[in-house]
Amino acid sequence: MSADLTYDVVVLGGGPVGENLAQYAMEDSGLTAVLVERELVGGECSYYACMPSKALLRPIEVASTAAHLGGVSRPHLDVTALLARRDEWVSHYDDASQVDWAEGAGIDVVRGHGRIAGPRTVEVARDGQAPLVLHARHAVVIATGSSPVVPEPYAAAQPWGSRDATGVVEVPERLAIVGGGVVACEAATWMAALGSRVTMLVRGDRLLGSAEPFASDAVLEALRGAGVDVRLGVEVTECRRDDAKDTGLGRVHGGPVRLTISGEAEVVVADELLLATGRRPRLDDVGLETVGLDADALLRHTSSSSDGSRGEVPDWLLAVGDASGEAPLTHWGKYRARVLGQQLAARATGAEPEPEPEEVPVPQVVFTDPQVAWVGLTAAQARERYGEAEVEVVEVPFTGAAGAALLRDDASGTASLVVDRGSRMVVGATFVGPDAGELLHAATIAITGRVPVSVLRHAVPSYPTASELWLRLLEELPRDLRR
Ligand SMILES: Cc1cc2nc3c(=O)[nH]c(=O)nc-3n(C[C@H](O)[C@H](O)[C@H](O)COP(=O)(O)OP(=O)(O)OC[C@H]3O[C@@H](n4cnc5c(N)ncnc54)[C@H](O)[C@@H]3O)c2cc1C
Ligand SMILES: NC(=O)c1ccc[n+]([C@@H]2O[C@H](COP(=O)([O-])OP(=O)(O)OC[C@H]3O[C@@H](n4cnc5c(N)ncnc54)[C@H](O)[C@@H]3O)[C@@H](O)[C@H]2O)c1
């Protein structure tokens, strides 16, 4: 027999985005919310993605920095201790503390796979228990994250996905990576440092296709410098593996993998294959069909669709985070969850929703060595939007400020700003270099706050910090724009 419960808000998926949505919907509103989670509360980010990858990358970056700092000798990576650090950061795949947080915030947690079962209704399939039916007075929110894309011809080879790479237990001697995006570049960095001989097979003609080309070049040079064999413009036509089997998270999944490359006689042979070929919203088993929808219809009308129209999507149904098809980044999903949670609470209580800026830029940091950080428009995107003559692009070497050059003896990289002449405002920024990610938020504030260049000139960076790069960049702008 199934049980029934009623809440104001039912959230499918207890990742960082679902958690934030529930929290903001409840804050000061008196609304009730429940999180339905089929794996671990905290989601992909906490256990299989952001946290373990950055727990691995940080010591690697520190060791690499120390190896290039006069006065520090013989930095050494201890692989066993590094993997133990990762295990600590993923709480040994135990979500007790996240459940405590949710319950402390007044959010109920239900474990099981949730599916929409009709208007404002969710059915939760639970292990060894009768299904639970949840009714939503105000909203059902889909925050189910995303799934990795597994293209043919790889499926039968049981390749590693990003979960295996972040959860690595057995370090394969030879690792092939297919893909040239963020997961591929970050994983190549830590797997090479752990001791794998890494070959990257990249379909495109550069790494990190959404970044400025100079950032792609810097990461390519750094990976090659670290011994990674990066092959650009290659197409894998066949993938074969004997004895492919699921041996568990982060363990080698069978015998050697043989990859045939179009136009090349040599076959790439590796002990493991990591597929890093993108992710798609996880919408295939959430019961959209029970309310006359499919994934395409929902994605056409995500929370930030430009015209704000909801099409055939009913007003009680929302998608947020990776599941919404917006930028698949934790900070972006959490931002949208804060906005939507607050709007939902306002709608339910008759309060005025907080105003939202018309356009909010999406920041991204790639934790390679050097780091790559960007926000807003690239130079090419800005020229397309404003016209060639209306866009001013300035670049300075990362070592152009003493504080940046001091970070490590081999510091290199580039900082750039993209400025719209019409509004005299920064519309994009990219930083490539050591700790570049920490320079990004100033640019995010400048763009979001619509601070004119003439005002930015009066924001004084301390000496000697890497932030003085801002001074160098602004000095590079034509005089008429600075006044
Ligand atoms: C290797 C890797 C590294 C990354 N590093 C970063 C980074 O450094 N910074 C960054 O900003 N982003 C990073 N990302 C992206 C980031 O992980 C995602 O953007 C983020 O996890 C999205 O959060 P979410 O809550 O939308 O989804 P998720 O974190 O995927 O959470 C969704 C939850 O929903 C649950 N669920 C799914 N379907 C159902 C269902 N039907 N019923 C019940 N529960 C369900 C899942 O079990 C999961 O717990 C990384 C991604 C990868 C793959
Ligand atoms: N530091 C971070 O913020 C961080 C870290 C990791 C992941 N992420 C997020 O996770 C998302 C997923 O990362 P990702 O690297 O898997 O995706 P991605 O979209 O960044 O890169 C996918 C790569 O796979 C290639 N590709 C796609 N299909 C292919 C095919 N059939 N054959 C060969 N190559 C193919 C693409 O050309 C591209 O190089 C990203 O959008 C990113 O925002 C963020």
Is the CB of 43 within 6 Å of ligand 1?
Answer: yes
Query: What pLDDT, on a 0 to 100 scale, did the predictor assign at position 308?
Result: 63
CB neighbourhood size of 73 (10 A):
8
Using 70 as the pLDDT threshold, list the residues of the chain that sit under it: 1-2, 303-308
Tell me if 3-42+95-147+280-349 shares its fold with 370-482.
Answer: no
> pLDDT tens for residues 294-351?
999 999 977 555 566 778 999 999 999 999 999 999 999 999 999 999 999 999 999 9
Is the CB of 50 within 6 Å of ligand 1?
Answer: yes
ipTM of the complex: 0.98
Tell me the torsion sign for CA atoms 425, 428, 430, 431.
positive
Question: String of b and e for 34-70 (b: at least 16 CB within 10 Å)?
Answer: bbbbbbbbbbbbbbbbbbbbbbbbebbbebbbeeeee
Q: 227 — phi, psi (to 5°)?
A: 95, 5
Tokens of 461: 């960076």
Is the CB of 218 within 6 Å of ligand 2?
Answer: no
Is the CB of 272 within 6 Å of ligand 2?
Answer: no
Is the CB of 166 within 6 Å of ligand 1?
Answer: yes
Ligand 1 atom 37 nearest Cα = 144
The CATH architecture that domain 3-42+95-147+280-349 belongs to is 3-Layer(bba) Sandwich (3.50)
Give the distance, in angstroms, between the CA of residue 173 and the centroid of all CA atoms in the same chain: 27
CATH class for domain 370-482?
alpha beta
> Using CA atoms, how far apart are residues 466 and 455, in angstroms rounded to an integer?
20
Q: For the chain, what are the domain ranges?
A: 3-42+95-147+280-349, 150-277, 370-482
Nearest CA among 332, 356, 340 for reference residue 27? 340
CB neighbourhood size of 290 (10 A):
14
Instruction: Find out whether 34 and 99 touch, Cβ atoms under 8 Å.
Output: no
> pLDDT tens for residues 41-57?
999 999 999 999 999 99
Atom of ligand 1 nearest to the CA of 331: 11
Ligand nearest to the CA of 181: 2
> Using CA atoms, how far apart are residues 282 and 298, in angstroms rounded to an integer?
12
Percent of the chain with pLDDT over 70: 98
| Model pTM score | 0.97
* Sequence-distant contacts of 83-89: CB under 8 A, at least 24 apart: 83/56, 83/168, 83/169, 85/55, 85/56, 85/59, 86/52, 86/55, 86/56, 86/166, 86/167, 88/55, 89/51, 89/52, 89/54, 89/55
> Using CA atoms, how far apart are residues 296 and 331, in angstroms rounded to an integer?
24
Ligand 1 atom 49 nearest Cα = 43
Is the CB of 366 within 6 Å of ligand 2?
Answer: yes
Atom of ligand 1 nearest to the CA of 329: 19
Peptide bond into 153 cis (omega under 30): yes
> pLDDT tens for residues 162-198?
999 999 999 999 999 999 999 999 999 999 999 999 9
Pairing of strands 317-319, 129-142: parallel
Ligand 2 atom 14 nearest Cα = 278
DSSP string, 302-342: -TT-TT---TTS-TTEEE-GGGGTS---HHHHHHHHHHHHH
- Alpha carbon of 401 to those of 14, 294, 461: distances in Å? 43, 52, 11
Ligand nearest to the CA of 277: 2
Q: What is the CATH number of domain 150-277?
A: 3.50.50.60
Return the best residue to mutate from 44, 203, 231, 322 for the ligand 2 pocket (most ligand atoms within 8 A of CB).
203
Ligand 1 atom 51 nearest Cα = 49
Return the best residue to mutate from 164, 183, 189, 234 for the ligand 2 pocket (most ligand atoms within 8 A of CB).
183
